[in-house]
Each structure stands twice: as structure tokens, then as C-alpha cells.
Amino acid sequence: MTIKTIGIVGSGQMGNGIAHVSALAGYNVKLFDISKIQLDKALATIAGNMTRQVSSDKISEQDREAALEKLSVTDSYEELATADLIIESATEKEEVKREIFEHLRPYISEDTILASNTSSIPITRLASNTDRPEQFIGIHFMNPVPVMELVEIVRGIATDDKTFNLAQEFVDTLGKQTAVAEDFPAFIVNRILLPMINEAIYTLYEGVGTVESIDKAMKLGANHPMGPLQLADFIGLDTCLSIMQVLHDGLADPKYRPCPLLVKYKEAGWLGRKTKRGFYDYRGETPVPTR
């Protein structure tokens, strides 16, 4: 089996990135979302990001044009289901993801491979609710997708070798590296990264440092390219909270309890860059700390 067409469910910051790199690698891409506004935004973002790549000589104008031609959007599960590999990258909520696979079930062919870009929901559990746990796999991209080199590949307990090899090959063709992770809560990168971000939020909550001092401390003191609060805003505070909840529930260790301040930001709808407010306010020219 060769993969020619990629279907992507969810055209948010990750979905549009996956569409971007897949179209540039020569795949036909069908991007699906329940929100027409998000689909329009995704197309504009992809075109803009590719233009930036042309300006910095990372790709040619011909590459950009060819990739944009490969890209289409749809609001029909039936059309999406014609893809060989469907990567779900919708909101990090298990019931949302389950419903998406339910909707796809009547239309997909027996060869279709299903994947999820989930940051933290068990692949085995998502797979077991589909009609094809053997052909289900975690393909976990990093943010921002066009820039980050790593993709985690997560095998569910039932994932077969053929699916695993096809997923590996797909990632290779995107020019990215893979790290294989076992299917335990939050896999490798987020298992290590999110507790650090959560601790940074506790550090703010307990008044040990301000937003600026915490980010400066980790940038200059630990040589991190971004401060942890800046990174939290970049990931999305809803996604950060979901991952901490999955770690807390899945590993039953109080060291993973989400910081109440993270919960408060999520409840306020201050989700970081995507809503223009999180630990920083992005509505002006330069980001300003919100605490």
C-alpha cells in the first residue's frame, strides 16, 4: 500500500501545520474541521507560512504553488474518508476524538489507516473504539509542525507492523525524525515537558517569581530557547491542562496535580496565543505579562 492522500481532522494550529508539511512533501491533503472559520483561517495561515518559507529560501515559489494546489478543505466525512491515512488533530478531548472516528466509520475503506495526533490520550483506548485497532497509531507532531524536527510514533497494543512501518515511512517522507514511544500517559516529550511547565505555573502562583522573571530565569539559567510560560501560551493552556489531567488520572501520582492557576486561566478562556491572552497579552505590538 502506498499513501497518496492524507486526511486531517481539525484545522487548528497543529492540523494546519500537518497539512502544510504533508502538502509540501507531495501528498494530496484534505483538511476537515467543524468550523468553517477555522478552515478559512488555516488556509490563510498555511499560505502565509509558506510565503515566509519562500522569503527565507527554505522552499521555492514553485514548491509553494505546487503544495497549495495539493491542499483542499472539506466539511464532509465522506470526502475525507477517501484519504489513505487520516490523522485526527482535533481538540484534546477524548469524546470529541471518539465521535470523529465514529463519524468516519461508515465511509472508510478496509485499508484506511487511522492516526491521532493526541498529546496525551491513550492510543490503545482510542483505537479500541474503532473498527480497526490494528490499523490505528499515534503520530504525534510537535508545535510548530513546519519547524520542529521530531515526531513521536506511538504504537497501541494492537497496532500491527504494517501500520507502524507505513507511519514511519510517512514521517520519513516529511523529512522529520521519529522517536518511538510506548503508549503510556503523555508519551515521552510531554511526560517530561508538561510537569516542568506546570511547576513554572506553581512558581508564579506561589509568588516565587513574576511571569517575566520565571521565563528569563529558564531562558538564561537553563539555556531554554523559550521560557516555560511563553511555551505554555504557545502550546495552548487548554491543551496544557488536558495533558496534566491525563498524567494525574493515568499515573495517579499527586506530583502531576494541575496548578489551580492553570485551571483559572483555562476557565477565563485565556488559552494563550490562539486567543491572544494567556500568561502574556498578545493584543498589542509586544506581548505583555498578564500577572
Q: Quick check: is 129 catalytic? A: no
- Please list every residue from 14 through 43 that binds ligand NAD, using CB under 6 A: 14-15, 32-35, 38
Q: Closest by alpha carbon to 111, among 168, 163, 74, 165? A: 163
- When asked if residue 76 is in the footprint of ligand NAD (CB under 6 A), the reply is no
- When asked if residue 185 is in the footprint of ligand NAD (CB under 6 A), the reply is no
Q: Smallest distance from the beta carbon of 142 to ligand NAD, in angstroms?
A: 6
Catalytic residue, from 20, 28, 120, 152: name it.
152
DSSP 3-state of 11: coil
- When asked if residue 96 is in the footprint of ligand NAD (CB under 6 A), the reply is yes
Which range binds ligand NAD by CB under 6 A, 117-125, 157-165, 178-186, 217-225? 117-125
CA–CA gap between residue 20 and residue 13 (Å, rounded): 11
- Please list every residue from 122 through 151 that binds ligand NAD, using CB under 6 A: 140-141, 143
13-24 vs 61-70: helix axis angle to the nearest 10? 110
CA–CA gap between residue 216 and residue 233 (Å, rounded): 15
110, 138 Cβ separation under 8 angstroms: no
Closest CB to ligand NAD among residues 12, 287: 12
- When asked if residue 261 is in the footprint of ligand NAD (CB under 6 A), the reply is no
Peptide bond preceding 144 in cis form (omega within 30 of 0): yes
- When asked if residue 89 is in the footprint of ligand NAD (CB under 6 A), the reply is yes
159 CB-side CA count, 13 A: 30
Q: Closest by alpha carbon to 86, among 36, 122, 139? A: 139
Q: Which residues contact 226 (CB under 8 A, 6 or more apart)?
A: 215, 219, 234
Q: Smallest distance from the beta carbon of 163 to ligand NAD, in angstroms?
A: 19
Within 10 Å of residue 206's Cβ, how many Cβ atoms? 10
Which range binds ligand NAD by CB under 6 A, 111-119, 156-164, 174-182, 213-221? 111-119
Closest CB to ligand NAD among residues 215, 233: 233
Which range binds ligand NAD by CB under 6 A, 10-18, 57-65, 170-178, 214-222? 10-18
Closest CB to ligand NAD among residues 17, 133: 17
Q: Quick check: is 78 catalytic? A: no
Kindly determine how many residues on this chain lie close enough to bind ligand NAD according to the rule CB under 6 A. Answer: 29
Q: Smallest distance from the beta carbon of 206 to ligand NAD, in angstroms?
A: 25
DSSP 3-state of 213: helix
Torsion, CA 115, CA 154, CA 273, CA 75, rounded to 10? 0
Q: Which residues contact 193 (CB under 8 A, 6 or more apart)?
A: none
The three three-digit cell numbers of residue 241, written as one number: 491542562
Q: Quick check: is 140 catalytic? A: yes
Q: Smallest distance from the beta carbon of 181 to ligand NAD, in angstroms?
A: 13
Q: Which residues are known to be catalytic?
A: 119, 140, 152, 190
Interface positions with ligand NAD (CB under 6 A): 9-15, 32-35, 38, 89-92, 96, 99-100, 117-119, 140-141, 143, 235-236, 239, 274
